[in-house]
Amino acid sequence: MKKYLIILFTVLGMLFNAQNIKTKRGIVTIDGIHVAKISNKSDEYIFMDLKETPIYTIEFVDKSIVDSVRDSYIKLNRIYNKDKTLELDYISPSAFSGEEKSAVYTSVKSLKIIDNKGINIKNLDDLFSKTPKRNLDAKTKEAYSVRSKIDKLNITVNNVGEILSNGRPVGYFTNLPVSFGSEDTVMDKTFVDIEIYDANSKYIGRYITTTKQLKTAGGKTFTMYREMSGRASILKFPTYKAIAERLAIMDPNFIKPQGKVVAGPVLKDGIEK
Protein backbone atom coordinates (compact mmCIF):
# COMPACT_ATOMS: atom_id res chain seq x y z
CA MET A 1 0.00 0.00 0.00
CA LYS A 2 2.82 2.37 0.92
CA LYS A 3 4.51 1.69 -2.42
CA TYR A 4 1.35 2.59 -4.36
CA LEU A 5 0.93 5.82 -2.37
CA ILE A 6 4.50 6.87 -3.21
CA ILE A 7 3.86 6.24 -6.92
CA LEU A 8 0.54 8.13 -6.75
CA PHE A 9 2.07 11.20 -5.09
CA THR A 10 4.99 11.14 -7.54
CA VAL A 11 2.63 11.15 -10.52
CA LEU A 12 0.46 13.87 -8.98
CA GLY A 13 3.56 15.95 -8.27
CA MET A 14 4.64 15.66 -11.88
CA LEU A 15 1.19 16.70 -13.07
CA PHE A 16 1.02 19.72 -10.77
CA ASN A 17 4.54 20.84 -11.72
CA ALA A 18 4.02 20.34 -15.46
CA GLN A 19 4.18 23.59 -17.40
CA ASN A 20 2.01 24.36 -20.37
CA ILE A 21 4.45 26.11 -22.73
CA LYS A 22 3.09 27.66 -25.91
CA THR A 23 4.23 30.07 -28.59
CA LYS A 24 1.68 31.85 -30.74
CA ARG A 25 2.21 34.86 -33.00
CA GLY A 26 5.61 35.52 -31.49
CA ILE A 27 4.42 35.48 -27.86
CA VAL A 28 5.70 32.86 -25.41
CA THR A 29 3.29 31.81 -22.68
CA ILE A 30 3.70 29.57 -19.64
CA ASP A 31 0.45 28.29 -18.14
CA GLY A 32 -1.43 31.01 -20.02
CA ILE A 33 0.82 33.86 -18.80
CA HIS A 34 2.68 35.97 -21.37
CA VAL A 35 6.37 35.83 -20.44
CA ALA A 36 8.44 36.75 -23.53
CA LYS A 37 8.40 37.48 -27.23
CA ILE A 38 10.31 35.75 -30.00
CA SER A 39 11.22 36.47 -33.61
CA ASN A 40 13.63 34.83 -36.00
CA LYS A 41 16.02 35.43 -38.87
CA SER A 42 16.73 32.15 -40.62
CA ASP A 43 18.17 29.77 -37.97
CA GLU A 44 18.62 32.49 -35.32
CA TYR A 45 15.87 33.19 -32.78
CA ILE A 46 15.74 36.50 -30.91
CA PHE A 47 14.17 36.46 -27.45
CA MET A 48 12.70 39.73 -26.15
CA ASP A 49 10.91 40.85 -23.03
CA LEU A 50 7.26 41.87 -23.32
CA LYS A 51 8.35 45.45 -24.12
CA GLU A 52 10.18 43.98 -27.15
CA THR A 53 13.65 44.70 -25.79
CA PRO A 54 16.01 42.07 -27.31
CA ILE A 55 17.75 40.09 -24.54
CA TYR A 56 19.39 37.03 -26.09
CA THR A 57 19.58 34.93 -29.24
CA ILE A 58 19.63 31.21 -29.94
CA GLU A 59 21.10 29.99 -33.21
CA PHE A 60 20.70 26.40 -34.37
CA VAL A 61 23.75 24.69 -35.85
CA ASP A 62 23.80 21.39 -37.70
CA LYS A 63 27.12 20.44 -39.23
CA SER A 64 29.03 17.49 -40.59
CA ILE A 65 32.09 16.61 -38.51
CA VAL A 66 33.60 13.77 -40.48
CA ASP A 67 32.18 11.04 -42.73
CA SER A 68 28.51 10.52 -41.78
CA VAL A 69 28.74 11.93 -38.24
CA ARG A 70 26.86 15.18 -37.69
CA ASP A 71 26.54 17.44 -34.67
CA SER A 72 23.51 19.54 -33.80
CA TYR A 73 23.61 22.18 -31.08
CA ILE A 74 22.74 25.81 -30.32
CA LYS A 75 24.77 28.98 -29.97
CA LEU A 76 23.58 31.22 -27.16
CA ASN A 77 24.41 34.94 -27.17
CA ARG A 78 23.45 37.82 -24.90
CA ILE A 79 22.57 40.93 -26.88
CA TYR A 80 23.54 43.28 -24.05
CA ASN A 81 26.91 41.59 -23.45
CA LYS A 82 28.64 39.94 -26.39
CA ASP A 83 31.89 38.98 -24.64
CA LYS A 84 31.43 35.30 -25.49
CA THR A 85 29.20 32.74 -27.17
CA LEU A 86 28.06 29.50 -25.55
CA GLU A 87 27.67 26.29 -27.52
CA LEU A 88 25.06 24.15 -25.79
CA ASP A 89 22.89 21.08 -26.21
CA TYR A 90 19.20 21.68 -26.71
CA ILE A 91 16.04 19.72 -25.99
CA SER A 92 12.75 19.43 -27.84
CA PRO A 93 9.23 18.68 -26.59
CA SER A 94 8.93 15.97 -29.25
CA ALA A 95 10.84 14.42 -32.13
CA PHE A 96 8.76 16.43 -34.60
CA SER A 97 9.16 19.84 -32.97
CA GLY A 98 10.50 22.67 -35.09
CA GLU A 99 13.37 24.96 -34.15
CA GLU A 100 11.15 27.65 -32.61
CA LYS A 101 9.51 25.20 -30.21
CA SER A 102 12.89 23.69 -29.37
CA ALA A 103 14.38 27.15 -28.68
CA VAL A 104 11.54 28.04 -26.33
CA TYR A 105 11.45 24.63 -24.65
CA THR A 106 15.22 24.69 -24.09
CA SER A 107 15.02 28.22 -22.65
CA VAL A 108 12.34 27.20 -20.15
CA LYS A 109 13.06 23.58 -19.28
CA SER A 110 16.80 23.13 -19.77
CA LEU A 111 18.49 26.51 -19.38
CA LYS A 112 15.91 27.98 -16.96
CA ILE A 113 16.30 31.45 -18.46
CA ILE A 114 12.56 31.96 -18.96
CA ASP A 115 10.10 31.41 -16.13
CA ASN A 116 6.57 32.53 -15.28
CA LYS A 117 7.89 36.03 -14.49
CA GLY A 118 9.62 36.50 -17.83
CA ILE A 119 13.24 36.32 -18.98
CA ASN A 120 15.46 35.67 -15.97
CA ILE A 121 18.55 37.85 -16.54
CA LYS A 122 20.30 36.51 -13.42
CA ASN A 123 20.04 32.90 -14.59
CA LEU A 124 21.19 33.95 -18.05
CA ASP A 125 24.28 35.70 -16.66
CA ASP A 126 25.00 32.76 -14.33
CA LEU A 127 24.94 30.46 -17.33
CA PHE A 128 27.67 32.50 -19.02
CA SER A 129 29.78 32.66 -15.87
CA LYS A 130 29.72 28.87 -15.42
CA THR A 131 30.05 27.88 -19.11
CA PRO A 132 28.35 24.45 -18.98
CA LYS A 133 29.88 21.60 -20.96
CA ARG A 134 28.07 19.74 -23.68
CA ASN A 135 27.17 16.07 -23.32
CA LEU A 136 28.67 14.46 -26.41
CA ASP A 137 28.27 10.76 -27.04
CA ALA A 138 31.30 8.55 -27.74
CA LYS A 139 30.72 8.56 -31.50
CA THR A 140 30.63 12.35 -31.71
CA LYS A 141 33.71 12.73 -29.49
CA GLU A 142 35.63 10.30 -31.70
CA ALA A 143 34.50 12.20 -34.80
CA TYR A 144 35.80 15.50 -33.37
CA SER A 145 39.10 13.81 -32.50
CA VAL A 146 39.44 12.56 -36.08
CA ARG A 147 38.45 15.98 -37.43
CA SER A 148 41.15 17.65 -35.31
CA LYS A 149 43.81 15.29 -36.66
CA ILE A 150 42.66 15.87 -40.24
CA ASP A 151 42.68 19.65 -39.83
CA LYS A 152 46.27 19.58 -38.57
CA LEU A 153 47.35 17.65 -41.66
CA ASN A 154 45.74 20.26 -43.96
CA ILE A 155 45.56 17.84 -46.89
CA THR A 156 45.00 19.00 -50.46
CA VAL A 157 45.09 17.26 -53.84
CA ASN A 158 46.44 19.08 -56.89
CA ASN A 159 45.37 18.74 -60.52
CA VAL A 160 47.80 15.92 -61.29
CA GLY A 161 46.68 13.72 -58.39
CA GLU A 162 49.51 14.63 -56.04
CA ILE A 163 48.64 14.66 -52.32
CA LEU A 164 50.02 17.53 -50.24
CA SER A 165 50.03 18.16 -46.49
CA ASN A 166 50.56 21.78 -45.46
CA GLY A 167 51.93 22.40 -48.93
CA ARG A 168 54.44 19.52 -48.90
CA PRO A 169 54.12 16.54 -51.30
CA VAL A 170 53.38 13.41 -49.28
CA GLY A 171 51.88 11.01 -51.81
CA TYR A 172 49.89 10.54 -54.98
CA PHE A 173 46.98 8.73 -56.63
CA THR A 174 47.30 6.33 -59.56
CA ASN A 175 44.76 4.83 -61.99
CA LEU A 176 42.96 8.16 -62.18
CA PRO A 177 40.30 8.76 -64.85
CA VAL A 178 41.20 10.83 -67.91
CA SER A 179 38.74 13.51 -66.80
CA PHE A 180 40.32 13.75 -63.32
CA GLY A 181 39.91 16.99 -61.38
CA SER A 182 41.22 17.53 -57.86
CA GLU A 183 37.83 18.73 -56.59
CA ASP A 184 35.89 15.94 -58.29
CA THR A 185 33.85 13.35 -56.47
CA VAL A 186 34.70 9.76 -57.34
CA MET A 187 31.51 8.68 -59.07
CA ASP A 188 32.57 6.31 -61.85
CA LYS A 189 32.63 2.61 -61.09
CA THR A 190 35.70 0.99 -62.61
CA PHE A 191 37.24 -2.46 -62.48
CA VAL A 192 40.63 -0.89 -61.74
CA ASP A 193 40.98 0.37 -58.17
CA ILE A 194 42.37 3.83 -57.46
CA GLU A 195 45.65 3.31 -55.63
CA ILE A 196 47.46 5.61 -53.22
CA TYR A 197 51.23 5.74 -52.67
CA ASP A 198 53.37 7.85 -50.36
CA ALA A 199 56.07 10.27 -51.55
CA ASN A 200 58.59 7.39 -51.65
CA SER A 201 56.28 5.32 -53.89
CA LYS A 202 55.39 2.96 -51.07
CA TYR A 203 51.93 1.44 -51.54
CA ILE A 204 49.53 2.79 -48.88
CA GLY A 205 46.12 1.55 -49.95
CA ARG A 206 43.37 1.57 -52.54
CA TYR A 207 39.87 2.86 -53.07
CA ILE A 208 37.43 0.34 -54.55
CA THR A 209 34.93 2.32 -56.63
CA THR A 210 32.36 -0.48 -56.84
CA THR A 211 31.96 -0.81 -53.06
CA LYS A 212 33.17 2.65 -51.95
CA GLN A 213 35.63 0.97 -49.64
CA LEU A 214 39.14 1.97 -48.66
CA LYS A 215 41.64 -0.80 -47.97
CA THR A 216 45.06 -0.13 -46.51
CA ALA A 217 48.18 -2.14 -47.26
CA GLY A 218 47.88 -3.41 -43.68
CA GLY A 219 44.41 -4.84 -44.27
CA LYS A 220 42.20 -2.20 -42.62
CA THR A 221 38.93 -1.40 -44.39
CA PHE A 222 36.55 1.54 -44.23
CA THR A 223 33.37 2.33 -46.17
CA MET A 224 33.39 5.95 -47.29
CA TYR A 225 30.53 8.34 -46.66
CA ARG A 226 27.89 6.11 -45.16
CA GLU A 227 24.85 8.20 -44.24
CA MET A 228 21.51 7.34 -42.73
CA SER A 229 18.29 8.47 -44.37
CA GLY A 230 15.36 7.26 -42.31
CA ARG A 231 16.19 3.60 -41.91
CA ALA A 232 18.06 3.27 -45.19
CA SER A 233 21.82 3.44 -45.50
CA ILE A 234 23.06 5.68 -48.30
CA LEU A 235 26.60 5.68 -49.67
CA LYS A 236 27.59 9.12 -50.93
CA PHE A 237 30.42 9.79 -53.34
CA PRO A 238 33.67 10.97 -51.70
CA THR A 239 36.16 13.50 -53.03
CA TYR A 240 39.81 12.60 -53.62
CA LYS A 241 40.69 14.84 -50.70
CA ALA A 242 38.30 12.91 -48.41
CA ILE A 243 39.89 9.63 -49.51
CA ALA A 244 43.38 10.93 -48.71
CA GLU A 245 42.21 12.30 -45.34
CA ARG A 246 40.60 9.04 -44.25
CA LEU A 247 43.60 6.99 -45.40
CA ALA A 248 45.85 9.25 -43.32
CA ILE A 249 43.75 8.39 -40.25
CA MET A 250 43.71 4.67 -41.05
CA ASP A 251 47.49 4.59 -41.54
CA PRO A 252 49.17 7.08 -39.15
CA ASN A 253 52.54 6.49 -40.86
CA PHE A 254 51.24 7.71 -44.23
CA ILE A 255 51.15 11.43 -43.40
CA LYS A 256 52.60 12.91 -40.24
CA PRO A 257 51.86 16.46 -39.01
CA GLN A 258 54.40 19.00 -40.22
CA GLY A 259 54.70 22.76 -40.51
CA LYS A 260 53.51 24.73 -43.48
CA VAL A 261 55.90 25.53 -46.28
CA VAL A 262 56.94 29.17 -45.97
CA ALA A 263 58.65 30.90 -48.87
CA GLY A 264 61.92 32.54 -47.86
CA PRO A 265 63.75 35.47 -49.48
CA VAL A 266 64.89 35.11 -53.08
CA LEU A 267 68.69 34.87 -53.33
CA LYS A 268 70.85 35.47 -56.38
CA ASP A 269 74.59 34.94 -56.13
CA GLY A 270 74.20 34.85 -52.36
CA ILE A 271 72.55 38.27 -52.29
CA GLU A 272 68.95 38.75 -51.14
CA LYS A 273 66.80 40.25 -53.87
Dump pLDDT digits (tens) for 64-81. 888 778 899 999 999 999
| pLDDT classification of 15: cutoffs 50, 70, 90 | very low
Q: What's the domain range around 203?
A: 154-250
In a domain, 138, yes or no: no
Are residues 194 and 227 located together in one domain of the fold?
yes
Say whether pLDDT at 189 is over 80: no
Angstrom distances, CA of residue 190 to CA of 45, 177, 266, 273: 48, 9, 46, 51
What pTM did the predictor assign?
0.72
Q: Which of 11-15, 149-153, 177-181, 239-243 comes out lowest in average pLDDT?
A: 11-15
CA distances from 245 to 46, 113, 241 (A): 39, 42, 6
Are residues 125 and 166 both part of a single domain? no
Q: Which domain-ending residue is among 78, 97, 130? A: 130
Let me know if residue 40 belongs to a domain: yes
Domain count, the chain: 2
Domain check: are 116 and 23 in the same one?
A: yes
- My answer on whether 115 and 56 are in the same domain is yes
- Residue 172's nearest CA partner among 247, 110, 222, 106 is 247
Task: Clarify whether residues 167 and 222 are in a common domain.
Answer: yes
- The verdict on residue 7 lying in a domain is no
On whether residue 267 sits in a domain, the answer given is: no
Q: What is the pLDDT of residues 26-38, one digit of tens each?
A: 999 999 999 999 9
CB 19 within 8 A of CB 30: yes
* 3 inside domain: no
pLDDT band at 45 (very low <50, low <70, confident <90, very high): very high
